[in-house]
Structure 1
Amino acid sequence: MSLMADPPGADRLSVRVRRNTVGDHDEAQRSGFLDALAAGRLPWEAYADLSAQHWFVYEALESAATTMADDPVVGTFLFPELRRLPSIESDLRFLYGPRWADHLFALPATTVYCTRLRDVAHRGSTGFVAHQYTRYIGDLSGGQYLGPAIAQAYGLPEAEGHRFFIFNGVDPRAFKNHYRGLLDTVPWSFAEQEAFIAEVAQAYRLNIAMLSELQSRWGRR
């Protein structure tokens, strides 16, 4: 299978989801909390807190991947090279030390996010793929700028403390094209496609709420 998708038409799901969620996507990209981290304006503990919140989100998502692996659609979208939980745990171990788990605390917005994710991701393929798309495609997009910026701002070693942002063996552009090509071939009905798009928008809003709570927690210090 080619990793390069054909030029998309306006009716393709990969195009419709981007068009219909662009506002939520752009708002997430404009997070003041992430901008402050990238500029090094917050203490390192704020970055560690982000990593901790990511642990809860990706634990929920990747647990759902295991549960839903036999679903014919979900199985098409499972890529072991995307798994982030081991990288997050490595980062937390570097940041907090061997007892990193003692520092994990889910913010209220993170709890809401994970509750929704578990609910829809275990219920069917549209919910699972929506949250997977929102997280991993974002990680392979803006995350590829954010990771090096944070590493530089906080003086992190080359491969320690920011492994979450590093996808070994993955070409971000080629992979995103491949993923969007898969979206365009999923045998969902139109109603299921619309449910997928709506859940992507919801996932963006949940992420925005989590980042806003982190901003409130650390931005005023």
Structure 2
Amino acid sequence: MTVLDAGPTTPALSVAMREGSRAEHEDAEGSTFMSELLDGRISEEGYAAYLRRLRGVYAAMETVVRERSDDPLVAAVHDPALERLAAIDADLDHWAPGADHDLAPGESPAAATYCDRLRGASWGGALVAHHYTRYLGDLSGGQAIGRVLDRAFELDGAGTAFYAFPAIPKPKPYKDAYRARLDALGLDGAGVDRVVEEVKVAFRLNQALFTELGERIDAYRRPARQD
């Protein structure tokens, strides 16, 4: 019996996004600033500088996603329970009380470039790529950052609202359902490739934030403890 070649099949979108961006993901995670943060060696000033950059990014993304929520691709992932802007503001009140939450013009070229990319996304699939990169990261590795901060600064939960998702008590089932919605979008091979390329861009933009912060790593390191 002759077996016919069915030809190439389109990979599941969620798998393609994860596997296709693995190198960029690892590069971002391996940055000096992120390594120091995960080791509990970043100071209050340094962490506030990180949060302020994230605030600009999330303000841009959450505004654009709400504005485009009638796009079928964006609608598949849009969920107000994920939004982080209010949580970031609450954390900044803890880490930098009384300070302006907004970045000054020119303070962070990396954050400005990231925001411009989000606002300029002309295709819903590009916004899906950024949504996935940020929020599934927050529900995954971001949880480890929250635990590190809580332990290193003995916070007892204070100042870590960014990593708390009260409406999502069990991240794993939520992430599984999120990936299932991605896979149900029905994109063809070219569409999958476009999303994967934008996920790579998103990770590179995140790495640029870490690189920018890393340029001041000596100023952002916590003083060594004197036991």
TM-score range, shorter chain: 0.7 to 0.9
Pick the aligned partner of 1:161 from 132, 138, 159.
159
What are the superposed Cα offsets for residues 113-159 of structure 1, whole Å, 9 maximum, x if unpaired? 11112111xx121111000000001111110111110122123242x
Residue 99 of structure 1 and its aligned partner are, at CA, apart by 4.5
Q: Which runs of 5+ in 1 are unaligned?
A: 1-8
Relative to its length, the structure with more helix (as a share) is 1
Residue 20 of structure 1 and its aligned partner are, at CA, apart by 1.1
Residues of 1 paired with 2:94 and 2:44: CA distance? 12
TM-score (norm 2): 0.85
Match of 2:54 in 1: 54
TM-score (norm 1): 0.88
Aligned length: 209
Match of 1:3 in 2: none
Residue 172 of structure 1 and its aligned partner are, at CA, apart by 1.5
Q: CA RMSD in A?
A: 1.8
Match of 1:172 in 2: 171
Flag the structure with larger Rg.
2
Q: Which runs of 5+ in 2 are unaligned?
A: 1-8, 221-227
Residues of 2 paired with 1:110 and 1:132: CA distance? 16
Match of 1:39 in 2: 39
Amino acid aligned to 1:151? D
What are the superposed Cα offsets for residues 3-36 of structure 1, whole Å, 9 maximum, x if unpaired? xxxxxx9821111121111111111222321221
Residues of 2 paired with 1:75 and 1:18: CA distance? 21
* CA pair 35-190 structure 1, distance change in 2 beyond 3 A: same
Match of 1:201 in 2: 200
Residue 59 of structure 1 and its aligned partner are, at CA, apart by 0.4
Residue 89 of structure 1 and its aligned partner are, at CA, apart by 0.7
| Contact 1:127–1:199 (Cα < 8 Å) also in 2 | yes
| Contact 1:39–1:150 (Cα < 8 Å) also in 2 | no
Residues of 2 paired with 1:13 and 1:24: CA distance? 17
Residue 179 of structure 1 and its aligned partner are, at CA, apart by 1.0
Residues of 2 paired with 1:219 and 1:200: CA distance? 30
| Sequence identity (%) | 35
